[in-house]
């Protein structure tokens, strides 16, 4: 565990550093309060700190107050060291944001015990943060594939469509459906089907850019959102995704299982200010057109906006395997 000590007296600082290093701490020693605050407030700063009350530039309570204003950083356990013994001084120190208070001269064993208390508190905070992040992940991700779940991917799509409207850009919507997935479950069982779903998710993620979105739309369907994509290259991008999925079988616990997907593609700029639900409905039509065309292909939904028609047409597949 790293610990910071801040003391403007060189002898006191060296003695304290030696004591803590012998106890297994990695010590960062500074000589004034400004240096202490700067070190603690770094992203990788120490989370234990021993602060002398009286220091140049910034005193111990001042360091505590500045650190507590940094809401985004992990919790730091801070102990004030001082010769002040009056009750009002103790109250002032604790109200500044200090966690503990030790009067000089202090016993080394007592100091180590108080630091162990601080470490237990930091450990508890770490576990609470981990539990919170785990709950947040479960609330936003699909349990089987770890992709964005349906609610989140739809929310992300809505945000991206709003951004596209503002910036006169194009969002590409691709609905993907695993071909003959029911026969996989019927022939090999649902556990193997789960393996196929997980591998499909993995390949979809590998086939898009880091800032694109991929989510599980439902069952064996997936939704891919390509952000700020040049519409000229969108069909080729969809074809790359199709090929990434189809290029090799999935290695499962019962052996290799062939895998292909059908894709329905839609370019947002062709549809005006339609809602996400309306656009997904049109992409779904294109997807089922790909199914009817023999599967393992891409169909593109087009809106005939010039004539005022609301129904979509579907282009021929880019390539069919």
Structure confidence by residue, pLDDT tens digits, 99-149 = 998 888 888 889 899 999 999 999 999 999 899 999 999 999 999 999 999
Question: Above 90 in pLDDT, residue 201?
Answer: yes
pLDDT at 255 over 70: yes
Summarize pLDDT for 43-95 with one digit per residue, the tens: 889 999 999 999 999 999 999 999 998 867 789 999 999 887 778 878 888 89
pLDDT at 71: 63
Please state which of the four CATH numbers 3.30.70.270, 3.40.30.10, 3.10.28.10, 1.10.390.10 is assigned to the domain occupying 150-314: 3.30.70.270
What's the whole-number average pLDDT of the chain?
Answer: 90
User: What global pTM score does this model have?
Assistant: 0.71
User: What's the alpha-carbon Rg for the chain, to the nearest Å?
Assistant: 30
> Cα separation of 302 and 267, whole Å?
8
Q: How many Å apart are CA 213 and CA 209, to the nearest integer?
A: 8
Give the pLDDT confidence of 293-309 residue by residue, as tens digits: 999 999 999 876 333 33
Can you give 159-193 as a three-state secondary structure string? HHHHHHHHHCCCCEEEEEEECCHHHHHHHHCHHHH
- Angle at the Cα of 134 from the Cα atoms of 175 and 76, rounded to 5 degrees: 135
- Name the segment(s) of the chain with CATH classification 3.30.70.270: 150-314
Give me the active site residues, please.
220
| pLDDT at residue 82 in the model | 85
Domain with CATH 3.40.50.2300 in the chain: 2-139
Q: What was the pLDDT predicted at 37? A: 93
Going by C-beta distance under 8 Å and a sequence separation of 6 or more, which residues neighbour residue 281?
none
Q: Which CATH class is domain 2-139?
A: alpha beta
- If we measure between CA atoms, which residue out of 19, 127, 133, 137 comes closest to residue 75? 127
pLDDT for position 151: 96
> Is the confidence at residue 284, as pLDDT, over 50?
yes
């Amino acid at each position: 565990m790293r610990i910071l000590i801040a003391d403007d007296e060189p002898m006191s600082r060296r003695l304290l550093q030696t004591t803590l290093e012998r106890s297994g701490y990695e010590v960062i020693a500074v000589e004034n309060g400004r240096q202490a605050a700067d070190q603690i407030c770094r992203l990788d700063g120490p989370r234990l700190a021993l602060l002398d009350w009286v220091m140049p530039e910034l005193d111990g309570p001042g360091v505590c107050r500045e650190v507590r204003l940094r809401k985004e950083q992990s919790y730091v356990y801070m102990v004030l060291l001082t010769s002040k013994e009056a009750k009002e001084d103790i109250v002032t120190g604790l109200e500044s944001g200090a966690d503990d208070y030790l009067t000089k001269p202090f016993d080394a064993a007592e100091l180590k015990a108080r630091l162990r208390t601080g470490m237990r508190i930091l450990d508890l905070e770490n576990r609470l943060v981990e539990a919170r992040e785990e709950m947040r992940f479960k609330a936003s991700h699909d349990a089987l594939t770890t992709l964005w779940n349906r609610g989140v991917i739809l929310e992300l799509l809505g945000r991206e469509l709003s951004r596209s409207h503002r910036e006169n850009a194009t969002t590409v919507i691709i609905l993907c459906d695993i071909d003959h997935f029911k026969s996989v479950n019927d022939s090999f069982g649902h556990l193997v089907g789960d393996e196929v779903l997980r591998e499909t998710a993995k390949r979809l993620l590998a086939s898009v850019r880091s800032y694109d979105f991929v989510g599980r739309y439902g069952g064996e369907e997936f939704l891919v959102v390509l952000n700020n994509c040049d519409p000229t290259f969108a069909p080729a991008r969809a074809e790359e995704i199709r090929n990434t999925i189809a290029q090799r079988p999935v290695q499962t616990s019962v052996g290799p299982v062939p895998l292909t997907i059908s894709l329905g593609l839609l370019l947002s700029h062709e549809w005006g200010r339609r809602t996400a639900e309306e656009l997904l409905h049109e992409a779904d039509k294109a997807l089922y057109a790909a199914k009817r065309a023999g599967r393992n292909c891409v169909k593109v939904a087009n809106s005939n906006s010039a004539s005022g028609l609301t129904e979509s047409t579907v282009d021929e597949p880019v390539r069919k395997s």
